[in-house]
Every structure is written in structure tokens, then in C-alpha cells.
Structure 1
Amino acid sequence: MANNPSHDIAVVGAGIIGVACALRLAQQGLRVVVIDQQAPGHGASFGNAGHLATEQVFPIADVSILKRLPAMLMDPMGPLRLDWKYLPRALPWFTRLLLNLRPEPFRKTVAGLRALNESSLDAWQQLLADIQRPDLLKVDGSLLVFERAESRQAIEALQTRLRQQQVPIDYWRAEAIRETAPQLSERLQGGLFFPRTGHFLDPYQVVVALVEAARACGVGFVQQQVQGGHVQEHGVALLTGSGELKARRVLIACGAHSAKLTAALTGKNVPLDTERGYHLMLPQEHHRLPFPVTSLERKFIMTPMSEGLRLAGTVEFAGLERPANMARAWQLQRLSQGLFHNDLNADGATPWMGFRPSLPDSLPVIDQVCNGKVLLAFGHQHLGLTQAAVTAQMVARLVSPTLPSQLIDLPDIAPYALDRF
């Protein structure tokens, strides 16, 4: 297969984005091969929070990040941390991030996130229905709670901002929280409920199910590292550990590792960095929550899954090379203390760290360049799972623009173009 030039598209990256795209492309009758040095779904897709976060139309950073910078550098357990050793490399990226917080760029970011998120739930329901696995997703909403009376003003301000963006939202008083999630502490003052959100019972099994469907459509999977490549007259040649692999087109969808190959094929240096995300899986906790619950003050999320309760949500900027600081994962268990009548059972808990691909304007790259020979789908930051299905449809439309978009209004591609950098 390594020397087979008959592939229509080679997809580099076997995470949720790459596999979903491969399936949609194969459903159009294209000959597709997926290449990744890891088995499918073993990167960031394995350990994400599992939350279909359609409500998250604002970037994770705002202008207050300047005030928080000293704490980010000094507190190794903070919810948003910048490793001081990584600061020199991160400084150009953070400078661009701050420039994107100006009113007009910020408005474009919110519009771009909103456009993707508004179509994400419908795209996922359609994709899972197509592979006959709607059971993998529960669409029963999610809840953002607050504990301190002084947080009420912040919650109400957020509610106003989200309503301005047409995000479906309800304010829940403490009584409604206790009725729906009785194991939560009575210290909770209230919260915001998002009815058009959902969660996956096992994010890794979602990738597995998509891989099975893709294989049934003829998609091949190659476990090799892509070391480089170049665009040729009639396609693209990728250099792998076992030689060249040629295809008419390539789709770069390898998340936080996409910058080097993008530069090799397009000549464009993309300002891609990584949010290192941590989770802690609690296998003894199966019935604490009916849906994902996020804490406003503690800044983490708890998602019920088939294998237990997953605690996730911290962000660390330390690059791709530094070892994981698993104390940050265990910190999530300590953050949960006091949110329930009885503390969570951490027996048998397992920590995890993964790399979320982030661009300074918080929008992904979804585009085709080099006369259509190079397709791009990366940089979804912490919304990769949420936006995977709609991204797959957008990529499929780029390849075959005359095909119907399966009754979903897809966003315009312009905000996600590579040439914005």
C-alpha cells in the first residue's frame, strides 16, 4: 500500500476529525486511506470531556488573561496554566491571541464558532444515524452551576451574552438543580441549563464505530508516521516510515501535529500551539449525574459516561515535548470536593493528558489549497469532538461541491481559510 498511487485522498490523522472526514469522503465513492502513527482514536480524541459543547461560542480567553498571567506562571495547579519554561516559545502565539481579543477580531471569532456549533448537533445526529449508532450520543442538555452569591451577576451577564448569540439557554434556580440532580450539594445557588447540548457515553467508542463504518466503505488504515511530503503535478507524495505513499489529494487532520506537514506541503507556517488537557476517570461513579455539569468557580466539567464519571477541563500551555504533569489530573478530584453531598469515589481512578490543537483566533482551519490537492481540517482547540461531524461535511463539500449537504445548512468556509494567517 505504501507505493500505491491509486488513493483519491490520504487522510493524515486518525482522530475524531480525520476518521469522520474519511467516512464522509468514502461515502461519496472516493478511495480513502487514513495514516497515523497511533491506532485510531488514541490521541486527544481518546480523553476529551465527552461534552457536545454547542453552547461554547466564546473563546476560552478574554482580556482578563493579562491580569491572570502572573498566576498562570506561578500556580502549577491553576485551571489555566502557562509553563514558564515554555513562555519564550509561547510568547508570539499569546501576542496574536491578545490581538484577536480586540473588538472586531473577537466578533469574527464568535461568529465563526457560533456558525460551526449551530450545525454541530444536527450533523452528529445525522452521522450517527447513518452508521446506525445513535445510542452513542445522549442529547439531554448540560448545566453550568455556581456556588457563591457574588457569582450571580457573572452568571446573569453570561446568560445575556449567550442569548444575544441565540444560544438556547434556561436559568435554573437551586430548587430545579436539586430536583434534577439530587446528589449535588445544596450550596449551589443556581445555574444555566443548555438544552441543545449532549454528551457521548464513550468518546473512544465513537471513533471505533466510525472506523468500523469507514472500513465497510473501503477506507484503509495505515499505522505509520508521516515524516514529510511534497505536492506533485498529479497529486501529493507523503513520506512515511515505510516509503512514499501517493494520493491525488491529502487531508491534513492530525490535530496539534499539523503545522509541520502543512508547512511542508503549502509553504505556510501556521501559528498552531497546543492546549494540554487533563482528565481523571472515576470508574466507581456511574449514577451521580444525569448530564454534564460544569462549575463556574472551579472551572472544570464532570461528564457521566458508560465507564464512570469523567472529570476534565484544565488548560496547560507547555508544548508537545514536556512530560505530562499528572498532578493536574488528580487536582480535578480535589476540585470536585464539596460539590456533592458525599465526595466522589476515586478508587481505581485513571489520569490522562492529551494535546488540543489551538490557533490564536480560536477558529479551526478548514480549507483546500494548492489547486485542491491539499485539504486542511485542524485547530479545533477544545471543540474538536463537538465540531467533528460538521467539519466532515464541510470537507466533503469542498471535494464534491455539487453533492447535497444532507439537509444541514453548512457554514461558509471563508472564516476558516488558511490565508487568514
Structure 2
Amino acid sequence: MSSVSSQQQMVVIGAGVIGLVTACCLQQQGHQVLLLDGNGVGQGCSFGNAGHLATEQVFPLADPALLPKLPGFLLDPLGPLAIRPRYFLKALPFFVRFINQMRPKKRSANMQALKQLLQSAIPAWQQLLDDAGCAHLIKTDGSLLVFEQTALAQVEQVAQSYAQQGVALEVLTKAQLQSRFPGLADSVNYAIWFSEVGQTISPNLLNQALFQWFLSMGGQFLQQKVANISSRHGLAVHLEPNQMAAAQQSEATPQIIATAQLVVCAGVHSKSLLAQLGFKLPIEAERGYHLMTSPALLPVLPVASFERKMIMTPMQEGLRLAGTVEFAGTELADNWQRAERLRFHGEALWPALLNKPQLKDAKNGKAEASAALAAAGNDVSPDLSKIRPANCWSGMRPTLPDSLPVISGCDIPGLWFHLGHQHLGLTMAASSTRLLLKLMAKEPGSAQLAAPFSLKRFN
């Protein structure tokens, strides 16, 4: 077997936003870092996320209030959740673990751990981007959570639950919304303005700016897929044969990179890499979709819907409609109907998205769409699964049952894990990396801070 390098001081597997920030911070500290990713830089969820720095999302996904809503979600073709029938049994062990995390003590502990990373998320990003010279790529004007049919008493109850966790907010009436945030549909009656959250003007621009900074500091990148990791004779990364090289050779052998320190930031693809080393990682791919649109008028900040469970984020490229959760694993074809359905919700909330001069009734529009799509249910139309419609995207959110990432070392010296940030990868990338670096440097108190994120919690 050939070796692409005799020794690398640091190797980071995965060039999504978690791996990029990790590689940048390690390189900035003076390490020589090699970044590996077979799909290129800033792809997957790091490319297509909602762009929202969602520091208000202090509540773990495993919420007992979700259980009575599940049937309605699953039966609604326009709903926020889908489970492919062919994948249900494979996902069942994850769902069992997920429901177990709804117990009050576990949910409370998970929430405190999430808050630890979220409270420092935006300051950590601001410092990182100041260092990188691209602070303009994030804004901190806040975001809206809008309500159409929810009564004021419940809106205030929701607001209070956030406020009790230290989230800065203000409840706004329809009149206040029309004055301060014009453009929302008349169906929006109330909103919670989260005043201390942020967004990026473009996830793609953010990723590319970080990558250029990484290269300017002397970091190295290799676009090649990792086949496996070995630790028998020291840490080594085995790469899959380069396809171009394989076409020119009768027998292509994997390349091997020996390294003193290795950080795995490969999202859902980390599961197979860890399994080769004997670690069990109950990670699941929450497939999400987005639809890019170009209305003449953009909202001035992200707008999420309490009832519709989706979000609209103004970006340099246009207005991104994002959301939905689909459990379909990593192999089944995308169901592009789920991305296209986001338009119905977007038009109902933001009339500028409508091609027609007058806003059609939101309820009738949803009813018409539901009738047209009901036959498809949660399965995939063959036509839509083969060809991606223009401006649509899908990606795999790496989610663990307790909604916490893995920020951890292990019994193998020099091997570290930084993965599983669910819907909050962009939000927590900088603060999560800060904790990882403290752990790697064995700073006093770091082991205690990182304990909730240890890989050992699953073994």
C-alpha cells in the first residue's frame, strides 16, 4: 500500500462547517492540519441549512409534547415529519432511544448541556470571523417565531417557557408586526421576536471564507473519501482509491495517512467509521429540504412558523424556505415533493412569493395541495426522486437521541470525535470547537464541561 504522507500532525475528517471550524482553529493554534472530505468543502447540511444561528433552541428535540402530534404530522402531506415505510424498522431503535430521552430528568440534563454551547455560540462565531476577516457574513438582528391560529394565551405560554431559560424575547401583536416587520401575511396574528439570535447571509459564502482562511494559514485539503481508520500500530487513515488514478491503473491500492492526532467530524457518515473501531454510535440521518426563491421583497430577518414548523431566511442568494424532517436513511432517493411543498407554506406567510397579484386563501391553498399530494403519502414519486427540481436541495442532519453532539476523546490516544450536532451544527460550530480544543489541551475543568457530550454515554 502506498502512503500519501509519512506523518501528519493533525488530520480532520469531514469538511462541513464542524470540520471546517475545527480545522481552522487547530491550524490557528499552530498545528499542521490536513482536512479530508470526499465530497468537497462545505457540502451537505453545511451548504443547505437555514442559515439561522438558532441560540434560542435550548429545548432538546425529544419533547413529550411531540407524541400526541405525531399522527397528524405523519398523515399530512404538507406536514413537517415523514417516515419512509421501508425505513421504519431500521429507524425503530433510534426512536426507542429518542422516546427514552423524554423523561423529565434526562430532558432537563440535556437542556442544560445544550444551553452551555448555545449561550456562547454567537460570541464564539464573532471572534472566529473577526480573526478570519469576514465578520460581515453574520448578522445579529434576531428572528421571528410567528403564530397564525394560536391563541394569545398560548403564545404567551410559549414565550414564558423560553424566557425562563434566559432567552431574550418580546411578544409582538399584529399591529406591532405590521409596523416593525412589514410584508408578513395578514394571517399572522402574533410573533415572538428573539432579539439576541443571528443568521449568516450565506452558508456557502461562510464555508468558503473559512476554507480560504484555513489555506492561507498553511492548512492542507485533500478531496478523497476515507475508507477506514486503524489504530493497531498508531493512528492511520485509509483512503479510498482516487477514481482518476484507479482508471489509469490495473490495481489501485488505498493510500494511508499516519497521524498523531485525528478528529472525526463526518456527521452521519461517522457511524461506519466508528463501528470499524468498535464504537456504537446511535446516530440517525434527519433528512431536511430547502427551496430557494426570489421574491421582489425579502424579510429583514429569519421568520419561523410555530404551526407550520418551517423557516424562511433572507440570504444573499434569495429567500430560503427550509424545514421538514424525513427519516429515510442515507441510501433511499430524495423525495423532492417535500422541498416543493415548502412553497405553499412560504406563500401563506410571505405574500411577495406569490406570482398572482392577490394572496390566495391559505387554507384553500393548503387543501388543494394536500388533495393533489395525498396519493403520494410519505413515499416517493419515481419522477420526482430521479431529477432534482431547480432551486431544491436536501441534506442529512446528524442527530443523536439526546439532541447533544459528541465532543469527546476515547481510549485510543490521539483520536477525537466532534459530530452529531442535529439541527444546530451551524449555530454551535464555533462554541463546540472551543470546548473540543480545551479538551484536547487538557485544560483544567474541561473534562467536566465536556462530560455530557462524551461518546461513553452510548456504551
Q: Does TM, scored on the shorter chain, surpass 0.5?
A: yes
Partner of 1:292: 302
CA-to-aligned-CA distance 1:36-63 (integer Å, 9 cap, x gap) = 1111011110100000000001123422
| Partner Cα distance (1:139, 1:362) in 2 | 24
Partner of 1:359: 400
CA-to-aligned-CA distance 1:173-214 (integer Å, 9 cap, x gap) = 212211122111222111111111111111011110111011
CA-to-aligned-CA distance 1:266-314 (integer Å, 9 cap, x gap) = x1111000110100001x2363200000111111100000010000011
Partner of 2:208: 208
Partner of 1:277: 288
8 Å contact 1:225–1:240 — kept in the other structure? yes
Distance 1:286 1:240, change over 3 A: farther
Q: CA deviation at 1:342?
A: 4.2
| Partner Cα distance (1:340, 1:299) in 2 | 15
Match of 2:429 among 373, 379, 388: 388
Specify the code of the residue in structure 2 equivalent to 1:360. P
| Partner Cα distance (1:410, 1:280) in 2 | 41
Partner of 2:391: 350
| Partner Cα distance (1:71, 1:396) in 2 | 43
Of 131-140 and 64-73, deviating more is 64-73
| Partner Cα distance (1:89, 1:245) in 2 | 34
Partner of 1:260: 272
Specify the code of the residue in structure 2 equivalent to 1:112. A
| Partner Cα distance (1:411, 1:189) in 2 | 45
Q: CA deviation at 1:349?
A: 5.5
Report the TM-score when normalising by structure 2.
0.86
Specify the code of the residue in structure 1 equivalent to 2:290. H
Distance 1:80 1:153, change over 3 A: farther
8 Å contact 1:143–1:193 — kept in the other structure? yes
8 Å contact 2:12–2:23 — kept in the other structure? yes
Partner of 2:456: 419
Q: Does 2:91 align with 1:80?
A: no
Distance 1:89 1:72, change over 3 A: farther
| Partner Cα distance (2:352, 2:319) in 1 | 15
Specify the code of the residue in structure 2 equivalent to 1:230. S
Q: Does 2:75 align with 1:112?
A: no
Q: CA deviation at 1:103?
A: 0.3
8 Å contact 2:403–2:421 — kept in the other structure? yes
Q: CA deviation at 1:237?
A: 3.7
Distance 1:135 1:345, change over 3 A: farther
Q: Is the partner of 1:155 in helix, strand or coil?
A: helix
Distance 1:417 1:324, change over 3 A: same
Structural mapping, 1:183-332, within 5 Å: 183-241=183-241, 242-265=254-277, 267-282=278-293, 284-285=294-295, 287-332=297-342
**Runs of 5+ unmatched residues, structure 2:** 242-253, 357-388
Q: Is the partner of 1:337 in helix, strand or coil?
A: helix
8 Å contact 2:62–2:107 — kept in the other structure? no
| Partner Cα distance (2:340, 2:237) in 1 | 43
8 Å contact 2:52–2:198 — kept in the other structure? yes
Distance 1:234 1:305, change over 3 A: same
8 Å contact 2:168–2:196 — kept in the other structure? yes
Distance 1:367 1:140, change over 3 A: same
Q: Is the partner of 1:413 in helix, strand or coil?
A: helix
Distance 1:373 1:174, change over 3 A: same
Report the TM-score when normalising by structure 1.
0.93
| Partner Cα distance (2:67, 2:89) in 1 | 16
Partner of 2:172: 172
Q: CA deviation at 1:152?
A: 2.6
Distance 1:411 1:402, change over 3 A: closer
Partner of 2:140: 139
8 Å contact 2:330–2:396 — kept in the other structure? yes
Q: Is the partner of 2:5 in helix, strand or coil?
A: coil
Distance 1:361 1:298, change over 3 A: same
Partner of 2:158: 158
Specify the code of the residue in structure 1 equivalent to 2:287. R
Partner of 2:13: 12
Distance 1:134 1:37, change over 3 A: same
Q: Is the partner of 2:349 in helix, strand or coil?
A: coil
| Partner Cα distance (1:340, 1:14) in 2 | 34
Q: Does 2:415 align with 1:374?
A: yes
| Partner Cα distance (2:212, 2:442) in 1 | 26
Q: CA deviation at 1:158?
A: 1.6
| Partner Cα distance (2:320, 2:143) in 1 | 14
Specify the code of the residue in structure 2 equivalent to 1:247. T
| Partner Cα distance (2:448, 2:117) in 1 | 6
Higher Rg: 2
| Partner Cα distance (1:413, 1:100) in 2 | 19
**Runs of 5+ unmatched residues, structure 1:** none
8 Å contact 1:286–1:308 — kept in the other structure? no
8 Å contact 2:142–2:195 — kept in the other structure? yes
Specify the code of the residue in structure 2 equivalent to 1:331. R
8 Å contact 1:286–1:309 — kept in the other structure? no
Which is helix-richer, 1 or 2? 2
Distance 1:76 1:12, change over 3 A: farther
Partner of 1:48: 49
Q: CA deviation at 1:398?
A: 2.2
Specify the code of the residue in structure 1 equivalent to 2:346. S
| Partner Cα distance (2:338, 2:419) in 1 | 26
Identical amino acids, percent of aligned pairs: 39
Q: CA deviation at 1:377?
A: 0.7
8 Å contact 1:286–1:306 — kept in the other structure? no
Partner of 2:40: 39
Distance 1:322 1:249, change over 3 A: same
Q: Could you say what the CA RMSD is over the residues aligned between the two structures, in angstroms?
A: 2.2
Q: CA deviation at 1:2?
A: 4.5
8 Å contact 1:116–1:411 — kept in the other structure? no
Distance 1:19 1:398, change over 3 A: same
Specify the code of the residue in structure 1 equivalent to 2:289. Y
Q: CA deviation at 1:336?
A: 1.7
Specify the code of the residue in structure 2 equivalent to 1:260. S
